[in-house]
Amino acid sequence: MPPCLLRCFRIDGAGTALDRNSQIGRSARTEALAGPPVARHNLFMSPSARRFESLHIAVTGGGTGIGRAIALRLVSEGARVSLLARDRARLEKVAGIARAIACDTRDERAVERAFSEACEHSGPLYALVANSGIGGANAPGDADRFEDLVATNLTGTYHCLRAAERRLLPGPRTRHLVAIASVLARLGVGGYTGYCASKAGVCGLVRALAVELAPRNVQVNAVLPGWVETDMAQAGLEDMARALRTNVDEARKLALSSVPLGRMAKPEDIAGIVAWLISDDARGVTGASLDANNGALMS
């Protein structure tokens, strides 16, 4: 018998050998394990494993892409989710699963009003996922987008983290603040000074807040996605294609040529990391900037 096969015997004394490997091969559960991430999530997360049951979690930029995937994941695990975003039309598309509040995170007073409304409706916060952000290039001149990129990605994130901090559940239970940054927080890309600077700033902000809020048992972390299948990534590929005078398919191939796993992440992949970060399984993880880039940059 090959060494990789397991032989087991019935405990009723009959002594009949069972080939457990062949049974595993026919298992529907094993088939599901080989399936897509959503299928695997549903397989393991039984209705009794709703880690965030009745906990209030706010997600900014929750109308599309990564934010939407995070909201869906948290709702599936029992959370009461409040969605905040600048684009009301996009929010309406997910309003059926969570409370949606239009808010421009660059405006500190608007952020305060939005978080007050969310907490008046759903109670103090267990966690915030600060995901609102914009991408794209910028260049010197009258049309330079640098200030808008920094105002949205860094200052807006700061406004939201502070607003959430003031509305967290009382301790001693661990509470969580998570910011979505980018692999470009660690890299320099020509023409993307505003985006790179703003996302690097988010990582510095997270580290400082992690130290500041540690005595209150608040864990503060950042997630740094690489290429993710989102509208923002598509726009980035289109920019790359124009710069290289090629098509988007060729730009995608070039972008993924330096990614060891050879693929873009799905928004659901990032949602899974966030769900882990704000769970009890991540106890003690704070001040971290977690890379999620399919190996494009390894620290």
CATH code, domain with 66 = 3.40.50.720
How far lies 43's CA from each of 109, 226, 289, in Å? 43, 27, 29
Q: Is residue 77 part of a domain?
A: yes
Would you say 105 and 160 are in contact if contact means Cβ atoms under 8 Å apart? yes
Interatomic CA distance for residues 252 and 106, integer angstroms: 32
Q: Is residue 185 part of a domain?
A: yes
Residue 134 structural domain: 55-229+264-292
How far lies 154's CA from each of 3, 111, 113, 149, in Å? 57, 14, 19, 8
Q: Is residue 100 part of a domain?
A: yes
Q: Is 126 part of the annotated catalytic residue set?
A: no
* Token output for 56: 């209030």
Return the number of other C-beta atoms located less than 10 Å from residue 242's C-beta: 12
Which pLDDT value is given to residue 6? 38
Which pLDDT value is given to residue 16? 44
Among residues 205, 222, 122, the alpha carbon closest in space to that of 159 is found at: 205
Query: Beta partners for 19?
Result: 7
* Token output for 236: 């980035």
Which pLDDT value is given to residue 31? 52
Q: Is residue 9 part of a domain?
A: no
- CB neighbours of 231 closer than 8 A, spacing ≥ 6? 64, 65
Note the pLDDT tens digit of each residue in 86-131.
Answer: 887 777 777 677 889 999 999 999 999 999 999 999 999 999 999 9
Which pLDDT value is given to residue 76? 94
Query: In one letter, which amino acid is 146?
Result: F
Interatomic CA distance for residues 200 and 188, integer angstroms: 10
Q: Is residue 278 part of a domain?
A: yes
Among residues 178, 189, 280, the alpha carbon closest in space to that of 224 is found at: 178
Interatomic CA distance for residues 60 and 153, integer angstroms: 11
Regions in the chain scoring below 50 on pLDDT: 1-27, 29-30, 33, 39-40, 43-44, 47-48
Q: Is residue 67 part of a domain?
A: yes
Selecting among 126, 158, 192, 195, the annotated active-site residue is: 195
Instruction: Look at the chain and report how many structural domains it folds into.
Output: 1
Interatomic CA distance for residues 263 and 259, integer angstroms: 7
Interatomic CA distance for residues 271 and 170, integer angstroms: 25
Q: Is residue 284 part of a domain?
A: yes
Q: Is residue 35 part of a domain?
A: no
Tell me the pTM: 0.81
